[in-house]
Structure 1
Amino acid sequence: MEDTKLKCKLCGRFFDDEEMSEEHYPARSVGNEDIVALNIVKMLDSFQSEEIRERIKTKLSDGESIERISGDIFDNELAESLYPHGRTARTLCRKCNTFLGKYDEAYLKFFSLDGEAKAIKGFSKKTKLHIVKSIFGKFISIPEATDEEFDFLEFLKNEMATEYHGKWKIYFVKRDFSSDLMGMKDIGTGKIEFDEGIVYELSDDKFIYNLMNFEKHACFEMTNLFDILKKDYILVKGVGSDGGYHSQILLTRLFSEMI
């Protein structure tokens, strides 16, 4: 019987397909509406195009920002529609998806205020915990973690839980031009393995999150998600010159699509 049913990744119960939800990861309200893919072949060609370079120079001389120019090139020439209605999964039953939606309401406040420390420090502890749980909850649905048995499910299911002492950690950065190739925001998911363990990635229009089962490498500057609960919370912006985990995961995914 269970072979024909789907297992909810939060409560662990089995349901018929029509009893499962169509959950967005990340939430639709934070940029997951019309997901496009970067055409890597066209992108490489554009780097060598004299016509593209001249067009960029002309627009820069006319006062346009490099962010706007690159965004126009991405939207009109390099992007291909991948998920017109947003990226979704069927990993949660309707009840669990509705339950996690309460956490997403708190995250939307964080997202709307750009995660800025001054504003977030004024949030209640309950709201901050809901933000943390919202992000942990989204990693349940990414396809790369289909077979992963996460130990933070009880932390998510208990709305009153204030502490998590498991093996998984989330680090994040706020996006800037260093994190987005030519200013093109990629909100894909990914996975990369190191000798120390596994790193999963999930992002939205403003932030890049990495879930990992080991302490992050010291060379990568990122904010621990639980730091938003602290008075000395500092938001790290950008991935720096080394690109962080994001660049490794992005390049791995892009080049795998070329094979």
Structure 2
Amino acid sequence: MRRTKPGSDRDGLIKRVADTPLVRCYVTDLAFRGNVSIYQGMVVNFIYVVFRVALGIWYTSVWFISMAVYYLVLGVMRLYLVVSYRRGEQVDQLRCYRRTAWSLFPLNVPMGGMMVLMVLTNSGYTYPGYVIYASALYTFYTLITSIINLAKYRKLGSPILSAAKALNFVAALMSILGLQTAMIAQFSTEGEGYRMLMNALTGGFIWAFVVLIAVYMLRHARALEKGEKEAGAVEQAEEQV
């Protein structure tokens, strides 16, 4: 009886999986990949909320509870995008994009509360051992990926997918702040005053940057709406001719 090598069996399995319609569609179809990422982000978001609430109750930590509130608001915004995207042509995608932009302002309320609490109580993240290096790699990976996806999905022309990628970018910015507090706690010898100052500066910058993102999205939505009206007027004029 002919025996096959374990490596060839594994390669054959990988090839068969790659040839399935679902995987092929995920690799080649950017819109489908964006659709999957919306669901993935929402599910992970709500799991993270439950995790932070459990930690907050276990350690009686206002810091963890405030983080849970922030990610709960973010999760509700992602849920809204999921529901809107599932409705397809029945929903005004530009209106969803605009509402997401407006939602960034109330999102900044728990975000600002977290930052103030972080500075006043000198709170933050701590990671054991080499976990901080893995966390740093993942944080920078998510930040770079979110920036690339912002440009990539904007070209796709779907306001809902663009809004979802904007939320991913905002979440990545908050991860940067958390990483900074952990790295200062583990490597800095400057004392608590330096940690509080850096948290205040970085937190204030991220808070203001999220406001700028919201303002940009509102201006962009207005420009897209104006373009649609002008295109509609041109079509109407051509039909009359």
Structure exhibiting the larger radius of gyration computed from Cα positions: 2
TM-score (norm 2): 0.29
TM-score (norm 1): 0.27
- Higher percent of residues as strand: 1
